Homo-oligomer: A and B are copies of this chain.
Amino acid sequence: MRHRIVLVGFGNVGREFARLLLENRSELTREFGLDASIVAILTARHGSVENPRGIDVRRALRLADAGVSLESCGRGISERSPEYIRRARADTVIEVTPLRIAPRQVALDHLIAALRSGKHVITANKGPVVYHYRQLRDLARLNHVGFRYEGTVMDGAPVFNLFQEALRGARLKSFEGILNSTTNLVLSEIEAGRTYADGVDAARRIGFAETDPSMDLDGWDATVKACLLCNVLMGGHVRPERVPRQGISSLAPEAVRDAVADGKRVKQLARGWREGRTVRASVSLEAIGPDHPLFSVNGTSSSLVVRTNMLKEFQIVERDPGLRQTAFAVYSDLIAIHEGRLSP
């Protein structure tokens, strides 16, 4: 039986996921018995189309890459996206629209519409999950559908899967990580003698720092990720607006060079910890020395160090990821849902 997908958002991540599906179609069928078919693509800038027999993905990619409307790929969809999602005949809704920092946002409406109408949800969009994790999780349980979001933190590197499947029985006490690739790349570029603007350009060229680079450079992206880890893995109630946050947009390049002269590196560290029964988060710029476990995490690499009651200190590092890595998160979430592993 076909697994019918509504893809909401067709930017860098959405398109890379579509490419991954195309390339791995036969493997997905052979190894996992998963016959995935995209039956609708909803976008803000290239129109929204559906084709119940499956959209010609190769054609959709060509059109989107050329910057033209998708309308020739199927029937146009004129209603608002949450309404369409509610009535769509589909198994899974994949949300990959850009991050917004606000409790109310259309991405949330997408997820709620999908879950209420009995569809699985996969999202790489942190916005709705950071504000409404509990509501979405409970809604998914109530409707016996999947809700997975591995792509929201560290791309395809397993973070939520790690805790909720591989580290069952361990309790997270605190974490510390480098979670924003754009920021880390710009810092590495300044260290190498280039300017802040050069660094931002480099991030843009490789497809990071996509829609709104200020989300990265002002520290919002790292802050939202820290809050997500606090809220999902530590049972916290942390809102990004209330977290102490340092982005690199106001950083003096000399601070980076002074650190290097000192044998250190300036890094943006996202932290979460417990204070009594409260979970707290922070995002700050700090000069760290070579003994720090995050010292050698450079360029677009990211890393998370966790301390649990069982493993003293456990670290994961994702080195030099590209768009493929984020798309893989969505892809592996899809396999998991197909196999009946509905939550991470």
Contact = CB atoms under 8 A, between A and B. Distances in A.
A232 interface: no
Nearest to A317: B315
Contacts of A296: 290-291, 293, 295-296
B320 A312 contact: yes
Contact of A328 (B291, B310, B322, B331): B310
Contact of A335 (B158, B169, B314, B332): B169
Contact of A310 (B291, B319, B325): B325
A166 interface: yes
A325 to B, nearest CB: 6
A161 interface: yes
Interface in A283-324: 290-291, 293, 295-296, 310-322, 324
Contact of A293 (B156, B317, B325, B341): B317
Contacts of A165: 161, 165-166, 341
Contacts of A260: none
Given A168-B336, A310-B328, A313-B319, 12 more contacts: A32-B169, A156-B311, A157-B311, A158-B166, A162-B162, A168-B332, A170-B328, A310-B324, A311-B321, A314-B316, A315-B315, A316-B316
A167 interface: yes
Copies in the complex: 2
A313 B339 CA distance: 26
The 4 closest A-B pairs by CB, nearest first: A158-B166, A161-B166, A313-B319, A315-B317
A112 to B, nearest CB: 27
Interface residues of A, number: 40
A287 B313 CA distance: 25
Nearest to A341: B165
Contacts of A336: 168
Interface string A15-50: 000000000100000001000000000000000000
Contact of A170 (B169, B293, B332): B332
Contacts of A312: 319-322, 325
Contacts of A162: 158, 162, 166
A202 to B, nearest CB: 18
Contacts of A341: 165
A77 B181 CA distance: 59
Contact of A314 (B157, B293, B295, B339): B157
B310 A314 contact: no
Nearest to A165: B165
A173 to B, nearest CB: 14
Contacts of A325: 310-312
A234 to B, nearest CB: 15
Contacts of A324: 310
Interface string A142-172: 0000000000000011100110011111100
A295 B293 CA distance: 11
Contacts of A315: 315-317, 319
B166 A310 contact: no
B319 A168 contact: no
Interface string A209-239: 0000000000000000000000000000000
Contacts of A158: 162, 166-167
Nearest to A322: B312
